């Protein structure tokens, strides 16, 4: 947007989704900043009514909320995913939407392999059994109650070949794994990098999800897909909860169609007590973490730094990391 001496109003709707230890660098342009720890759905419209720039992580900005903000010119998403933002309405309004990119290329793959190692070697199950006195009961130097498998020589199926999927594959290859990148479900001819989706399901010992959530990937894995997993793989999901049909996952885990599951995401978040995944927590081959795969201290600080950079670039008239709204640049000029 064009330089202006008129202070811009910036509203952060959910600051509590970024750790309190994370430093948000002050914005350099004239502005007022209104920060909310959390924002309920019924509070959004009022809080952004006179905002020029809205910072949001997981709060929904739908058509109704955006219509209540006539001055809105930028949505700065404090995350990579943008499925909580109505991008179509933003495009129609000329609102720039910028997201965060590349900040989690270390932390998410590390969390993926933390889950893989824990499940593949039954770390949690053995720890809990030691706590329960099983070692003393065994009366020898070790016992073999739970399976332990090496990663070397196994097949890692990666669904999603972006930055995170590629990083996960690189670690897998370093550990001696065969890595397959799944083609889009129902598509062929995507190139040498990709293996047909059905073949990846059939041949993987471990499956890990790194694709976006959209109309094509909603419930990407359901009853039919679990039935096609011939090698009874571990399933890892650090992407979006709705990529998997939770009821089908629970049934597959209990029936032995898969050998274990490590999840960092659910729908909704947090899951209610009666959620089907909550009923799996006592199983030795199931791990659920509270959407923290992205949340190393280093990664969150990188996210916060990039968030400020995105806003600064927009105000300078050079928007970056743009999802929608700045195709010709005209929609960002002359607006205070």
Catalogue the active-site residues.
240, 269, 291
The residues that bridge with 11 in the sheet, in sequence order, are 34, 54
The C-alpha angle with vertex 70 and arms to 69 and 76, in degrees rounded to 5, equals: 55
Helix (H) / strand (E) element for 262: namely strand 260-263
Residue 124, H or E segment: helix 123-131
Residue showing tokens 């914005």? 27
d(CA 50, CA 304): 24
Which residue is it, tokens 């960002």? Answer: 332
**Inter-residue contact 253 to 237 (CB < 8 Å):** no
The span from the CA of 236 to the CA of 244, in Å, is 11
Q: List Cα–Cα distances, 11 to 32, 39, 54, 134, in angstroms.
A: 8, 11, 5, 54
Query: What is the side-by-side order of every strand in the sheet holding 194-195?
Result: 194-195, 178-182, 155-159, 206-209, 234-237, 260-263, 286-288
173's tokens = 């290859």
């Amino acid at each position: 947007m064009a330089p202006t001496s008129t202070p811009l109003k910036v509203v952060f709707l959910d600051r509590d989704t970024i750790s309190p230890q994370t430093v948000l660098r002050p914005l350099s342009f004239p502005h007022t900043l209104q920060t909310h720890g959390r924002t309920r759905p019924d509070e959004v419209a009022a809080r952004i009514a006179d905002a020029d720039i809205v910072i949001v992580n997981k709060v929904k900005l739908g058509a109704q909320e955006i219509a209540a903000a006539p001055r809105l010119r930028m949505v700065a998403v404090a995350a990579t995913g943008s499925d909580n933002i109505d991008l179509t309405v933003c495009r129609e309004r000329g609102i720039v939407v910028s997201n965060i990119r590349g900040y989690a290329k270390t932390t998410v793959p590390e969390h993926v392999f933390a889950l893989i190692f824990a499940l593949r070697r039954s770390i949690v199950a053995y720890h809990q059994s030691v706590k329960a006195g099983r070692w003393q009961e065994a009366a020898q130097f070790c016992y073999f109650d739970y399976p332990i498998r090496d990663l070397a020589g196994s097949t890692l199926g990666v669904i999603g070949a972006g930055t995170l999927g590629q990083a996960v594959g690189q670690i897998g290859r370093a550990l001696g794994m065969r890595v397959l990148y799944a083609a889009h479900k129902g598509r062929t001819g995507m190139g040498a990098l990709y293996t047909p989706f059905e073949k990846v399901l059939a041949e993987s010992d471990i499956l890990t999800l790194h694709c976006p959530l959209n109309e094509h990937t909603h419930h990407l894995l359901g009853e039919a897909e679990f039935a096609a997993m011939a090698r009874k793989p571990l399933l890892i999901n650090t992407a979006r909860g709705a990529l998997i049909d939770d009821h089908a996952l629970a049934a597959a885990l209990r029936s032995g169609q898969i050998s274990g599951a490590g999840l960092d995401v659910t729908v909704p978040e947090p899951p209610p007590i009666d959620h089907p995944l909550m009923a799996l927590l006592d199983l030795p081959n199931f791990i659920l973490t509270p959407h923290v795969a992205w949340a190393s201290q280093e990664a969150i600080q990188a996210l916060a730094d990039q968030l400020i950079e995105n806003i600064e670039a927009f105000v300078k008239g050079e928007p970056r990391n743009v999802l929608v709204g700045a195709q010709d640049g005209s929609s960002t000029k002359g607006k205070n």
